[in-house]
Amino acid sequence: MDNSNDLRRDIAKQTMQNDVRLNAAYIDGEWITIEASDSDTVDDHALYDPNLGEVIATTRLSTKFHVDRAVDAAAKAYPAWSQTSVSTRAHYLNAIADEMEQQFDKLVGLSVFNNGKPIEEAKIDVSDAIACYRYYANLITEQETWSEVSSESGIRLLKTYAPVGLCALIVPWNFPMVTTAWKLAPALAAGCTVLLKPSEVTLLPELMLGNILSAIQMPKGVVNILPGGAEVGAAMTSHPWIDKVSFTGSNLVGEKVMIQAAKGIKDISLELGGKSAIVVCADADIEYACDLIIGGIFTNAGQICSATSRLLVHQEIAQSLFKRLKAKTEDLYIGDGFDTATQMGPLVSKQQLAEVKKYMDIATAENLDCLTGGEILKRQGYFATPTIYTDVPVSSQLWMEEIFGPVLVSATFSDNVEAIRLANDSKYALAATIVSADETAVLEMALQIEAGHIWINEQQIVLPEAGWGGFKQSGIGRELGRDGLSAYQKSKHVLLPS
Ligand code: NAD
């Protein structure tokens, strides 16, 4: 590690010490120190730097007691906030974006420090989150209070939108600030008040949001932030006053959340797992296809819901493609997220590394052909090698299950019909990439591939105006775009004489 890495880490550490409120929940516009209440026990919770595998801080997580206080605050704030003008809501959304821009370097540093992702990827995350707040600030101002649906035979039908109410927002650790923005921005734009629970794994960047809300003087109680784990998530999603649950995370927890939210018939959005395909056709440019394959699986060390973790390559070009893919993969610089040269950083945690190791062991037991990688690195931090298995049968656990790490499985196909069949051979259907020189044929293929988002000859860019979400077990509902706003609104129709 060179000195500049040390320096960047030191700056992030200083930010943590000076700016992040540990041992506290942000409720009703204030930081409330977390202490054991009569009914709850509070244990210390460790936060890690995955680059070094070291504890960087210990903090306390909130409990059901704080959930109840936060719900009270959100309920108290709701009548006024839900009636604010759209221009007022847009003002606050833009103010969040402005303040995030002011704090850009700190947010990036904390993200690398606590999540491990390479610094350039962390910069993209913070920029994407800012763009999301601005997008919903604009979108909400475009929405008319009343729109005329029809006017005939002496009657008029009008439509308006009302906020859905009090929302429980629960996010994972893989894109701190981004998954939060995807929920928080449209919820605030719609006029909802919220309880936000960031992942207990990556609290450092997420807790900065409390400071940002205080700095812009967001009305008290509109946003309440609860650092917590499963217990707090369950208390939020089953609380009788919560109207809407929006959850991003694993299918295992998603199923629990759905059951918890069933109590009181809550509205629900679920953004869950994926096992997305990247299809490389015979006419694809091999060099470019390799770049898209590598970007699709090794960005964020494969910890992306839309990671294209199943490669389907036309048999005619398979041999030459695998040769280049192996060489390019082995050229990737694996290192500390604070090192600007790093192209792939560590896994987020010891548990996530163990999960990747589990699948590498299954691959060995299944006798899969390992083109490259297949190892956990013997060094400080939670590092695995970028790994590719070829000729993987569809019955393999590695083919079927989401690994959430830098592990690519691949198979070949002989024509587009087989490619589509293989791409759709999954319980998930979140995203896909197609690489081909024939745009007409690929658009036809895109119609038949089951996925909520398909990239054709493009990296995984997600624009705020594009709805995000999957089919099948990848979830329910859409985030981002107009659909993302609708997720926090209920339409209301009014009929009157014309
Ligand atoms: P996870 O399901 O373990 O945790 C997600 C969140 O749920 C965390 O904040 C966690 O504290 C909370 N939680 C845990 N138990 C809970 C309970 N009983 N009730 C309520 N909340 C509870 O997921 P993770 O490991 O943090 O993230 C990885 C998963 O997220 C992957 O499966 C990935 O595909 C998925 N993901 C999906 C998308 C998408 O847009 N579809 C985006 C990012 C991540």
Contact 47, 348 (CB under 8 A): no
Cα(237)–Cα(71) distance, integer angstroms = 11
- State in Å: Cα 177 to ligand 1 middle: 14
- State in Å: Cα 166 to ligand 1 middle: 20
Report pLDDT for 3. 76
- State in Å: Cα 173 to ligand 1 middle: 8
Report pLDDT for 427. 98
Q: Which of 62, 114, 167, 174 to mutate to test the pocket of ligand 1 (most atoms within 8 A of CB)?
A: 174
Report pLDDT for 40. 66
Cα(335)–Cα(211) distance, integer angstroms = 31
Residue minimizing CA distance to atom 11 of ligand 1: 229
Instruction: Give the residue carrying structure tokens 């904390």.
Output: 110
Q: What are the pocket residues of ligand 1 if the criterion is a CB atom closer than 6 Å to any ligand atom?
A: 170-174, 179, 197, 199-200, 229-230, 233-234, 237, 248-250, 253, 256-257, 260, 271-274, 305, 402, 404, 430, 474-475
What are the distances in angstroms from CA 103 to CA 109, 136, 165, 198, 430? 10, 20, 30, 19, 32
**Domain ranges in the chain with CATH number 3.40.605.10:** 3-272+476-493
Q: Which of 253, 257, 258, 259 to mutate to test the pocket of ligand 1 (most atoms within 8 A of CB)?
A: 253
Contact 157, 150 (CB under 8 A): yes
Ligand 1 atom index nearest CA of 271: 41
Shortest CA distance to 433 belongs to which of 281, 270, 316, 287? 281
Report pLDDT for 35. 87
Cα(437)–Cα(285) distance, integer angstroms = 8
State the DSSP string of 186-253: HHHHHT-EEEEE--TTSHHHHHHHHHHHHHTTPPTTSEEE----HHHHHHHHH-TT--EEEEES-HHH
Ligand 1 atom index nearest CA of 468: 40
How far is the first Cα of the chain from the last one, in angstroms, to the nearest whole number? 74
Active site residues: 271, 305
Largest CA distance in the chain: 77
Assign a CATH topology to domain 277-463.
Aldehyde Dehydrogenase; Chain A, domain 2 (3.40.309)
Cα(125)–Cα(24) distance, integer angstroms = 25
Contact 60, 44 (CB under 8 A): yes
SS3 content of the chain, % helix, strand, coil (to 5): 45, 25, 35
DSSP 434: E
Q: State the sign of the Cα–Cα–Cα–Cα dihedral 77, 190, 205, 349.
A: positive
Contact 381, 53 (CB under 8 A): yes
Report pLDDT for 36. 74
What are the distances in angstroms from CA 79 to CA 72, 73, 463? 12, 11, 32
Ligand 1 atom index nearest CA of 173: 26
- State in Å: Cα 32 to ligand 1 middle: 25
Ligand 1 atom index nearest CA of 479: 40
Residues contacting 12, CB < 8 A, separation 6+? 109, 110, 112, 113, 338
| pLDDT by position in tens, the chain (length 498) | 467 999 999 999 999 999 999 999 999 999 999 987 646 678 889 999 999 999 999 999 999 999 999 999 999 999 999 999 999 999 999 999 999 999 999 999 999 999 999 999 999 999 999 999 999 999 999 999 999 999 988 999 999 999 999 999 999 999 999 999 999 999 999 999 999 999 999 999 999 999 999 999 999 999 999 999 999 999 999 999 999 999 999 999 999 999 999 999 999 999 999 999 999 999 999 999 999 999 999 999 999 999 999 999 999 999 999 999 999 999 999 999 999 999 999 999 999 999 999 999 999 999 999 999 999 999 999 999 999 999 999 999 999 999 999 999 999 999 999 999 999 999 999 999 999 999 899 999 999 999 999 999 999 999 999 999 999 999 999 999 999 999 999 999 999 998
- State in Å: Cα 331 to ligand 1 middle: 32
- State in Å: Cα 104 to ligand 1 middle: 25
Report pLDDT for 245. 98
Ligand 1 atom index nearest CA of 404: 31
Residue minimizing CA distance to atom 43 of ligand 1: 305
Q: What is the CA radius of gyration of the chain?
A: 23
Quick check: pTM over 0.95?
Answer: yes
Residue minimizing CA distance to atom 21 of ligand 1: 233
Residue minimizing CA distance to atom 31 of ligand 1: 250
What are the distances in angstroms from CA 300 to CA 177, 337, 389, 416, 495? 14, 10, 19, 30, 51
Q: Which of 178, 202, 207, 248 to mutate to test the pocket of ligand 1 (most atoms within 8 A of CB)?
A: 248
DSSP helix/strand/coil, 168: strand
**Domain ranges in the chain with CATH number 3.40.309.10:** 277-463
The angle at the Cα of 121, spanning 452 to 384, to the nearest 5 degrees, equals: 90
Q: What is the dihedral of CA 134, 139, 145, 151, to 10 degrees?
A: 180
Residue minimizing CA distance to atom 30 of ligand 1: 249
- State in Å: Cα 171 to ligand 1 middle: 6
Would you tell me how many other CB atoms lie within 10 Å of the CB of residue 283?
14
Please state whether 472 falls in left (phi above 0), alpha (psi between -120 and 50) or beta: left
Shortest CA distance to 426 belongs to which of 395, 453, 392? 395
Ligand 1 atom index nearest CA of 470: 41
Would you tell me how many other CB atoms lie within 10 Å of the CB of residue 139?
21
- State in Å: Cα 273 to ligand 1 middle: 9
Contact 67, 235 (CB under 8 A): yes
Report pLDDT for 41. 74
For 3-272+476-493, which CATH class? alpha beta
Residue minimizing CA distance to atom 32 of ligand 1: 250
